[in-house]
Amino acid sequence: MINCDCKKLLAIDLDGTLLTDNGNITEGNLKSLKKASEKNTTIAIATGRAFFNALRVIDKYDFDCYLICFNGALIVNLKNNEEIFSKAMEKEAAQKIVDLCIREKLPLHVFGRTYWGINFMDEAVKEFVEKQNIHPNIIRDARQIEDIDIINLVGIGKVDKISEFIVKNNMKVSFTNSDKESIDVMGENVNKGNALEILADKLNFRKEEIISIGNYYNDVEMFKMSNVGIAIQNSPDDVKLHADYVTQNSNNEEGVKEAIEKFIL
């Protein structure tokens, strides 16, 4: 255990980790985050979500943090909106993947920092739009994104077609899975671990001072960059193998609170 008064950088995933299955942060998790902040701990939310979608969650709760979003393609200090790091995809690669998904009728979300486009408006997107009053751009042709810095593509459903296309064409991109039904595509060498290293260097943290908490495959690189990598109980078994500690409690049972109390408070 490293629960002492020395400074620490704590990186926490959102979905399946800090958030319950209904998308909320429990009172216990929130209190433990605030206690950690008071004990010389800098908090970074590290998520595969788009910038605007992560803010939609964080803004509901009163705690200061840094935000690593798009699986590491963008880092922002939310106290002052300072952009610490951003990496867009190569335009040709992004356009080829968009073209594939339009041609093969594969649902795809296309993100810039403030841009959101989709090629198909399915029921899940319709529900989100109605709830949040945020309207995506409808993409019918890959040429529509020529002048946009694309940070992240998220394919839904038959994700193997996208990953096979990337590998076959030797594209200079990174890809990972944030859940069973999706594939996230970013610029080359982009992942949560590399983003955490960039943030740690910026804030003068050593690896020995970093703790990370996650639950899925896109969190594994973050575990490797940490002194202590913590997998939440609801993680897949092969993700747990990469962790230094596995919580007894799931995301619905305040596994984050358990981890913070064990290693920080």
Whether residue 32 contacts residue 65, with contact meaning beta carbons closer than 8 Å, is answered with no
Q: How many CA atoms lie within 13 A of 18 on its CB side?
A: 23
pTM of the model: 0.93
Show which of 187, 221, 236 is a domain's final residue.
187
pLDDT level of residue 133 (50, 70, 90 thresholds): confident
State whether 81 and 195 are in the same domain: yes
At 89-125, the pLDDT tens digits run: 999 999 999 999 999 999 999 999 989 999 988 777 7
State whether 170 and 223 are in the same domain: no
pLDDT of 5 reads 65
At 136-179, the pLDDT tens digits run: 999 999 999 999 999 999 998 888 999 999 999 999 999 998 78
* Domain, as residue range, for 135: 91-187
Q: What is the CATH classification number for the domain harbouring 248? A: 3.40.50.1000
- In one letter, which amino acid is 178? S
**Is the per-residue pLDDT at 1 higher than 80?**
no
Residue 3 included in any domain: no
At 174-231, the pLDDT tens digits run: 999 878 888 999 999 999 999 999 999 999 999 999 999 999 999 999 999 999 999 9
Show which of 187, 205, 239 is a domain's final residue.
187
State whether 103 and 166 are in the same domain: yes
pLDDT of 3 reads 58
**148 contacts: CB under 8 Å, gap ≥ 6:** 112, 115
Show which of 187, 217, 241 is a domain's final residue.
187
Q: What is the CATH classification number for the domain harbouring 167? A: 3.30.1240.10
pLDDT of 158 reads 84
